[in-house]
């Protein structure tokens, strides 16, 4: 009986998503977002697609494909549903140490020389907000007056952006935040913590697909961590070209610690600090 049920399930899975379906979906996803599903991670796409079909009450991948091919809003929701949004506060502490002890002092020197006291930062692929909120808390701690900062935090996931704007984090998600920051920058609410309005006001949350030009210019610092790992090299290179255009002269960029531009033909220079490695637009 148990074996029979298993066989029926696995047959249903085979029928559910043929090789041709996989090819069609992964081509569309790649063209629309740069996210690259390989044969190895096909099962991830398959399970996320199944979940989306269940939510929509649709029982055929072909019917659903026809709907995302003609309906831009549904395509956005679908792309949202296939993203990986894993993140946490103070993820990769070494980056924040490098930010505090190397990047911020360097940027202050450069900007002071031209009479500008505002740091412009872009958190690209911000997920549920832990990264931009970490940056905002740290800069609030270390920047002396009259220095100011502005953060743009963007993602392709509308669900994530809604969660960012809410600024609520359950108890299980606040690990990594030092107690002093928790007291100073959050309010204790039922079931978790809510980010203070003054920290919220330093961040603009925007829907943005990294396939397109963001229109941002003169950014002093870009965080794009654990995002390009889902792209193939051609898409990574194209995104790097767009970051380059959005960044100021002598600005910095952090990518994820398991990501690298090594061997890629970009104009960024590799910078090794005592705390972490990062990239710089030197000209």
Ligand X SMILES: C[S@@+](CC[C@H](N)C(=O)[O-])C[C@H]1O[C@@H](n2cnc3c(N)ncnc32)[C@H](O)[C@@H]1O
Q: Is 81 in the site for ligand X (CB under 6 A)?
A: no
Q: Which one, 35 or 107, has the nearer CB to ligand X?
A: 35
Q: Which residue stretch of 94-102, 149-157, 169-177, 268-276 sits at the interface with ligand X (rule: CB under 6 A)?
A: 149-157
Distance CA(279)–CA(75), nearest Å, equals 33
Indicate which single residue of 156, 177, 199, 221 sits in contact with ligand X (rule: CB under 6 A).
Answer: 156
Return all residues near 176 (Cβ < 8 A) that are at least 6 apart: 88, 89, 90, 91
| DSSP single-letter state for residue 213 | -
Q: Which residue stretch of 5-13, 52-60, 79-87, 135-143 sits at the interface with ligand X (rule: CB under 6 A)?
A: 79-87
Closest CA to 26 of 283, 230, 245: 230
Q: How far is the CB of 223 from ligand X (least distance, A)?
A: 7
Distance CA(280)–CA(250), nearest Å, equals 6
Q: Which one, 74 or 187, has the nearer CB to ligand X?
A: 74
Indicate which single residue of 34, 103, 138, 139 sits in contact with ligand X (rule: CB under 6 A).
Answer: 34
Q: Is 86 in the site for ligand X (CB under 6 A)?
A: yes
Q: Write the secondary structure of 40-95 as one string of H (helix), E (strand) and C (coil).
A: CCHHHHHHHHHHHHHHHCCCCHHHHHHHHHHCHHHHHHHHHHHCCCCCCCCCCHHH
Indicate which single residue of 37, 135, 157, 199 sits in contact with ligand X (rule: CB under 6 A).
Answer: 157
Q: What are the φ/ψ torsions at residue 115 (nearest 5 degrees)?
A: 70, 30
Distance CA(131)–CA(223), nearest Å, equals 9
Q: Is 46 in the site for ligand X (CB under 6 A)?
A: no
- Lookup: tokens for 240: 């790097």
| DSSP single-letter state for residue 171 | G
Contact 263, 236 (CB under 8 A): no
Concatenating the DSSP letter of every residue in 93-144 gives: HHHHHHIIIIIHHHHHHHHHHTT--EEEEEEES-TTTHHHHHHHHHHHHHPP
Q: Is 26 in the site for ligand X (CB under 6 A)?
A: no
Indicate which single residue of 24, 77, 81, 85 sits in contact with ligand X (rule: CB under 6 A).
Answer: 85
Indicate which single residue of 49, 68, 83, 246 sits in contact with ligand X (rule: CB under 6 A).
Answer: 83
Restricting to residues 202-261, name those near ligand X by CB under 6 A: 208-211, 225-227, 230, 256
How many residues bind ligand X (CB under 6 A)? The answer is 26
Residues 96-135, one symbol each (x = binds ligand X by CB under 6 A, - = not), give -----------------------------xxx---x----
Binding site for ligand X (CB under 6 A): 33-35, 83-87, 91, 125-127, 131, 155-157, 160, 208-211, 225-227, 230, 256
């Amino acid at each position: 009986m148990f074996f029979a049920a298993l066989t029926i399930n696995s047959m249903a899975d085979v029928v559910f998503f043929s090789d041709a379906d996989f090819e069609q979906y992964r081509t569309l996803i790649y063209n629309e977002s740069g996210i690259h599903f390989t044969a190895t991670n096909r099962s991830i796409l398959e399970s996320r697609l199944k979940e989306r079909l269940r939510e929509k009450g649709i029982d055929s991948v072909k019917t659903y494909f026809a709907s995302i091919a003609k309906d831009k809003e549904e395509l956005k929701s679908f792309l949202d549903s296939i993203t990986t949004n894993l993140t946490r506060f103070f993820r990769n502490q070494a980056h924040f140490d490098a930010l505090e002890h190397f990047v911020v002092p360097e940027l202050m020197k450069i900007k002071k020389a031209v009479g500008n006291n505002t740091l412009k930062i872009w958190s690209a692929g911000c997920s549920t907000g832990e990264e931009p909120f970490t940056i905002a808390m740290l800069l609030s701690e270390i920047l002396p007056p009259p220095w100011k900062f502005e953060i743009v935090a963007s993602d392709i996931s509308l669900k994530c952006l809604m969660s960012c704007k809410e600024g609520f984090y359950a108890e299980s998600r606040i690990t990594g935040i030092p107690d002093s920051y928790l007291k100073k920058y959050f309010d204790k609410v039922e079931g978790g913590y809510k980010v203070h309005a003054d920290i919220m006001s330093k961040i603009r949350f925007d829907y943005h697909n990294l396939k397109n030009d963001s229109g941002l210019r003169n950014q002093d610092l870009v965080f794009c961590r654990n995002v390009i790992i889902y792209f193939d090299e051609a898409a990574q290179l194209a995104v790097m070209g767009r970051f380059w255009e959005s960044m100021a002269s002598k600005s910095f960029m952090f990518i994820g610690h398991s990501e690298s531009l090594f061997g890629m033909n970009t104009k960024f220079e590799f910078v090794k600090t005592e705390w972490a490695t990062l990239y710089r637009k030197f000209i």
